[in-house]
Amino acid sequence: MFLFGSIKPIPPTTFARNLDKYIDIAGVKRITPHGFRHSHVSLLFWLGCDKREIAARVGDTIEVIEKTYFHLFEDKKSNTIKTLNSFKNSKK
């Protein structure tokens, strides 16, 4: 596991231990390292990052990313329709 572009990987147990430490300090609900991964991917998806880059970043395929996360962002579908309609209306 790499964080913030580090060259040296962080052992999963070290990551989990530090994650628990900072969760306790912050006083927030506990999240597993795998849940942290889901939060990271969800954030990237929500921010509009390229699906190919997200998939490569986490070692998944675009299909897996879409299947796992796309249903969380129904508003992105309506945004596509609004964008297309806006484009159509600007050409009048």
State pLDDT tens for residues 41-63: 989 988 888 999 999 999 999 99
Domain residue ranges of the chain, discontinuous segments joined by +: 31-90
Dihedral sign (CA 73, 78, 84, 90): negative
Tell me what pLDDT residue 61 has. 94
pLDDT > 90 in the chain, percent: 24
Tell me what pLDDT residue 92 has. 59
Residues 6+ apart with CB under 8 A from 1: 9, 10, 11, 12, 15, 33
Distance CA 1, CA 16 (A): 11
